[in-house]
A and B are shown apart, each in its own frame.
Chain A
Amino acid sequence: MSKASKSNKTVLSAEEKQRKKRRTAIVIKRQIPFYILMLPGLICLAIFCYMPLPGILVAFKNYNWREGILGSPWVDPIFKNFEFFFESDVAFRTTFNTLFYNIIQMVLGPALAITVAILLNEIRGKVSASVYKGAILLPTFLSWVIVQYIMYALLNPGRGIFSSVFGIDANFYMEPSYWRVIMPLVYLWKGFGYSSVLYVAAISGINTDYYEAADLDGASRWQKIKYITLPMLKPTFMILMLMSLGNIFRGGAGDWQGFVTATNDSGMLYPATDVIDSYVYRALRTLNDYGMSAAASLYQSIIGFVLVLVTDRVIHRIDPDSSML
């Protein structure tokens, strides 16, 4: 009896095992097509996002391309490139400029965009509203090289509009102090249309019941803006602010190229226009100093990593749909 039941049990478990095996086989087999779909993306990620990572070591190396990243000798002491970067005034200058322009942008950008969005929302004519929208969005789609040409057409000493029409004979490309005003204006000009449209979308998402109720109570336009629209825009504002905060030190991702093109990459202007990204770029391309470039870029990446991660997690708390992951 006992023997029979035992063998019965083993038979059952063997059968179960086989069923389990078949089930895992099915589970694996069902996944295969999805892995095929993912394959090109995974390969590209591996090559273009993960393979460059060992390149970070260049910040600690005396890089020469014949010996490659791993073969090149370490610098001695190991933080020499960083010491060099921080002891020269470059680190302070580029960090200061990066913060300076980003903070101005974070204050003026949303202020202008929210004002424009609210006014745009007040326009009743659908055609005129969409014409205005189209016009203010135009700069968003222009490349930084086109911006360089526009700036040149305006500022070119002797021929530019400022000198030929307004008679201002300043040599803009030689005098850094002007650019503390010019650069924020350029970035506002290029970006306000896009963020205004984001806020318009947020306004159109506000429940119209609020406005109807306010109308019944005899609220004025200004009161409706102050007590309904502005408070309702707060989440959008918070998220966009956090995003720009996170992007301050995010290498390559921010729109730093304007600092190279709009200024015509004029060396005289570096004290006012050199940001971390433009320095990383110049150290690599013009100065050919791989170590310094990599050191500056790693310094930026580490701060950037912390800022992006923290802001993205905070955004996730506020609104999971707006966070990256």
Chain B
Amino acid sequence: MGRKHKIGVFDVSVHIVFILLSLACILPLLLVLGISLTAESSLISEGYHLIPREFSTAAYSYVFTSSSTIIRAYGVTVFVTVVGTFLQLLFTAMMAYALTRPEVKGRYFLSLIVYIPCLFNGGMVASYILMSQTLHLRNTIWVLFVGSMISPANVLIMRKFLRSIPESLIESARIDGSGEIRTFFKIVLPLSKPSLASLGLFTAIAFWNDWMTCNLYITDTKLFNLQYLLQSMMKNIQNVLANADRTQGMQNALAHLPTEGVRMATCILAIGPIILLYPMLQKYFNKGLTIGAVKE
């Protein structure tokens, strides 16, 4: 009896610890949500509160009806995330697979070529000069993903995964008359779906969350992605929205802009998809999270 009771106390306290930890992780987001649903006047006079003192959806209706900037930024982010993730996964898997094949004679040297950028890079200035002055990619949508079309670290991770594909499968495809490239797309890729999914998850989130690239190379508000729009809204929301919406005679509406609310509402919209996809993300947690870090 006594022993059972002891375990009970321990279990309860573990649950309490985890409830507190979970709250510490979730409450800050709920706070942002709460602020976004509070009337601007209340925010100014009473400050921020978790539960709105004066409920209002004005910020959201402003975002959805009055401002084309935010909707457009959503479009840029979605485009870059989808195209960037697809290309990076494809190029990474193609390269990683070729590096595992014993037929390729120079594969040790080629692996070294992939390894070196993991150790040493030219630094921010060097990439900045390349992107903006050599390749003239400033203020184009391409700059947001071309630099990430290959990830040397992911090639090396993927290479380890692909080594576990049984040679006999590839051999039998060859005997059946399948070309090597066809074998890759029809047999190797489908077999590596789980690892592709978890690598893709991290790549997609990195693209979704990236604001630095946009910050460095984009000055045209029409090409702002969501995160960078948010970041510049923090500095000065009036300018960001005014520049883009000037043509639509928005100056008047800007005078009554619910500044604080719109900021927080945009923030919620930027987190939205990650929360919505969360159950799906969690499915890959157990498999995917340990990629490239520690084997189970």
With both beta carbons as reference points, the residue of chain B lying nearest to A139 in the complex is identified as B25
Bits for A107-140, please: 1 = Cβ < 8 Å to B, else 0: 0000000001001101110001011111111110
CB distance from B235 to the nearest CB of A (A): 8
With both beta carbons as reference points, the residue of chain B lying nearest to A58 in the complex is identified as B125
Assuming A130-B282, A261-B231, A305-B119, is B129 touching A69 (CB within 8 A)? yes
Assuming A132-B22, A143-B209, is B294 touching A252 (CB within 8 A)? no
Q: Is the CB of B209 within 8 A of A142?
A: yes
Distance of A49 Cα from B146 Cα, bound (Å)? 12
Residues of B within 8 A of A321 (CB): 160, 295
Q: Is the CB of B124 within 8 A of A252?
A: yes
* Contact among A141, A153, A261, A324 for B35, CB-based, below 8 A: A153
Which of A37, A122, A159 gathers the greatest number of chain B CB atoms within 10 Å? A37
Q: Is the CB of A284 within 8 A of B211?
A: no
Assuming A58-B125, A68-B133, A201-B290, is B267 touching A149 (CB within 8 A)? yes
Q: Is the CB of A41 within 8 A of B123?
A: no
Is B252 on the interface with A (CB-CB < 8 A)?
no
Q: Is the CB of B208 within 8 A of A194?
A: no
With both beta carbons as reference points, the residue of chain A lying nearest to B147 in the complex is identified as A48
Distance of A26 Cα from B59 Cα, bound (Å)? 67
A1-9, A97-105, A292-300: which lies at the B interface?
A292-300
Q: Is the CB of B293 within 8 A of A309?
A: no
Is A95 on the interface with B (CB-CB < 8 A)?
no
Residues of A within 8 A of B98 (CB): 34-35, 37-38
Q: Is the CB of A198 within 8 A of B274?
A: no
Q: Is the CB of A240 within 8 A of B117?
A: no
CB distance from B85 to the nearest CB of A (A): 15
With both beta carbons as reference points, the residue of chain A lying nearest to B271 in the complex is identified as A146
Distance of A257 Cα from B216 Cα, bound (Å)? 13
* Contact among A38, A142, A205 for B94, CB-based, below 8 A: A38
Scan residues 261-320 of chain A and give those whose CB is less than 8 A from a CB of chain B. 261, 264, 280-281, 284-285, 290, 293-294, 297-298, 300-301, 304-305, 308-309, 312, 319
Is B26 on the interface with A (CB-CB < 8 A)?
yes
Interface residues on B, range: 35 or more
Distance of A159 Cα from B263 Cα, bound (Å)? 14
Chain A interface mostly helix, strand, loop or mixed? helix
Q: Is the CB of A134 within 8 A of B119?
A: no
Bits for A197-222, please: 1 = Cβ < 8 Å to B, else 0: 11001101100000000000000010
Q: Is the CB of B270 within 8 A of A34?
A: no
CB distance from A313 to the nearest CB of B (A): 11
Scan residues 255-295 of chain B and give those whose CB is less than 8 A from a CB of chain A. 260, 263-264, 267, 270-271, 274, 278, 281-282, 285-286, 289-290, 293-295
Distance of A149 Cα from B208 Cα, bound (Å)? 16
Chain B interface mostly helix, strand, loop or mixed? helix
* A-to-B contact residues, CB < 8 Å: 27, 30-31, 33-38, 40-42, 44-45, 47-56, 58, 65, 68-69, 116, 119-120, 122-124, 128, 130-139, 141-146, 148-150, 152-154, 156, 158-161, 163-165, 189, 193-194, 197-198, 201-202, 204-205, 221, 236, 239-240, 243, 251-252, 257, 261, 264, 280-281, 284-285, 290, 293-294, 297-298, 300-301, 304-305, 308-309, 312, 319, 321-322, 324-325
* B-to-A contact residues, CB < 8 Å: 7, 10-11, 14-15, 17-18, 21-22, 24-26, 28-29, 31-32, 35, 43-44, 46-50, 90-92, 94-95, 97-99, 101, 103-105, 110-130, 133-135, 146-147, 149-150, 152-153, 155-156, 160, 179-181, 184, 205, 208-212, 215-216, 227-228, 230-231, 234, 260, 263-264, 267, 270-271, 274, 278, 281-282, 285-286, 289-290, 293-296
